[in-house]
Amino acid sequence: MNYHVAQAAWLNAINNFLLKNISEIRADFPILNKKVYNKPLIYLDNGATTQKPQCVIDKINEVFSSYNGNIHRGVHAISDKASEEYETAREKVRSFINAGKREEIVFTSGTTGSINALAFSFGERYIRKGDEIIISNLEHHANIVPWQMMCERKKAKLRIIPINDNGEILFDEYLKLFSPKTKLVAVSQVSNALGTILPVKKIISVAHTLNIPVMIDGAQGVQHGITDVKAMDCDFYVFSGHKIYGPTGIGVLYGKEKWLTELPPYQGGGDMVETVTFEKTTYNELPFKFEAGTMNFPGAIGLGTALDYVLSLGREDIEMRERELLEYATNRLSGIDKLKIYGVSDKKISTISFLLKDIHQYDTGMILDKLGIAVRTGTHCAQPVMDRFGIDGTVRASMCFYNTKEEIDVLGTGIEKVISMFS
């Protein structure tokens, strides 16, 4: 063995020693020990929301029991402490997604809140009659409806990137959608309904050659790997705290400083102002210009702790565990006769959307539920994806690092039971 090989093996051994094993990881999440219908809970609905590690639960408890004072307002000790923790959380988000400046991180209520804010603000500032926004056929309703509402207000139009039978966008068709009227591209990093990872870097670089900004909906991307907004070069990036092991009601709108400086605020109120008279109001500096009213500071602080937790596991390790789960589950489920998987791109996160021949997705979901298995059924708030495949919904098993191969086996057996019940 030469020196470098020996050194790599040694580093690997240390790394394995430092990494938590799966039972240690699962022990961090109290809900994973629960039973439903007297059966161990098998939680495979992580695309809808993720479970919370004890450290996040403890952190929120700490805020309310030790320093629940309104941020940026009081001179008193607990308000100061809450403000400091809130701004520390902002810094944690900045570093997690590798944004350049803390001023570029705006806290919102979630991905939906962020996209609505951007659609309103961007629409007010830049969109005129006849302008066009490009989105894809893979979008969640949260990345369709706010743009549609803005288009209605401004008499603008949506242009849609089509997808193929694997559930991947047709890149050549994307290129054809650009026109002198194009003002923005807004697409997902990862499809929530099918799990497809979109080629966002390529999407952005094409738009940028025409000086068109791009918003990336990271709701299903940020928790599954390393997101680097600088390397991606997106103009805006949005995500929700609750999908990355943090609290509900908190989210992030990242925007490059030059854009956030130009965009008008979308809500008025306390804290977003510098001076107010009845004649004129001047706005606060970034990012506070976009944070009107009392913010969800316990949520932001809890999100900061969730990001620390993810970093403590290691994002490469999370990606590796999830890749293994996806491979295992794809093999197990595709071996089941009468099961069809929707979304078969070779670039996917650990999500499997499927249907059983002649069995409605709700029946499948309800029987699996009685076996203790939580999956999502329906359109997954992505009706245009379902329309594209001519179906009215799927069953979705969305896995993450705390799921196990044993759980996938129980899912497989559960699905076989559903099939036998209906045959």
Active site residues: 381
* Residue 274 buriedness (CB in 10 A; 0-12 / 13-18 / 19+): exposed
Sign of CA dihedral 337, 389, 191, 298: negative
Told to check if 217 binds ligand PMP by CB under 6 A, we report yes
Q: Which of 46, 112, 116, 377 binds ligand PMP (CB under 6 A)?
A: 112
φ/ψ of 304, rounded to 5, equals -55, -45
From candidates 83, 121, 136, 192, binder to ligand PMP by CB under 6 A: 192
Beta carbon of residue 242, minimum distance to ligand PMP (angstroms, whole number): 6
Question: What whole-number distance in Å separates Cα of residue 68 and Cα of residue 92?
Answer: 20
Answer yes or no whether residue 299 interacts with ligand PMP by CB under 6 A: no
Does residue 220 interact with ligand PMP by CB under 6 A?
yes
Tell me the window of 109-117, 289-297, 352-360, 412-420 that interacts with ligand PMP (CB under 6 A): 109-117
Q: Tell me the window of 6-14, 110-118, 197-205, 399-407 that interacts with ligand PMP (CB under 6 A).
A: 110-118
52 binds ligand PMP (CB under 6 A): no
| Binding string, residues 60-99; x marks residues near ligand PMP by CB under 6 A | ----------------------------------------
Of residues 338 through 397, those in contact with ligand PMP by CB under 6 A are: 381
Nearer to ligand PMP, 258 or 347 (CB): 347
Applying CB under 6 A, the site for ligand PMP has a residue count of: 13
Of 47 and 287, the one with the shorter C-beta distance to ligand PMP is: 47
Contact map string, positions 131 to 150, toward ligand PMP, x by CB under 6 A: ---------x-xx-------
Tell me which of 83, 136, 188, 350 binds ligand PMP, using CB under 6 A: 188
Of 73-81, 82-90, 199-207, 216-224, which part binds ligand PMP (CB under 6 A)?
Answer: 216-224
Distance CA 160, CA 384 (A): 10
Distances (CA, A) of 108 to 30, 202, 296: 27, 28, 8
Say whether residue 223 binds ligand PMP (CB under 6 A): no
Q: How far apart are CA 26 and CA 23, in angstroms?
A: 5
Catalog residues that contact ligand PMP under the rule CB under 6 A: 110-112, 140, 142-143, 188, 192, 217, 219-220, 240, 381
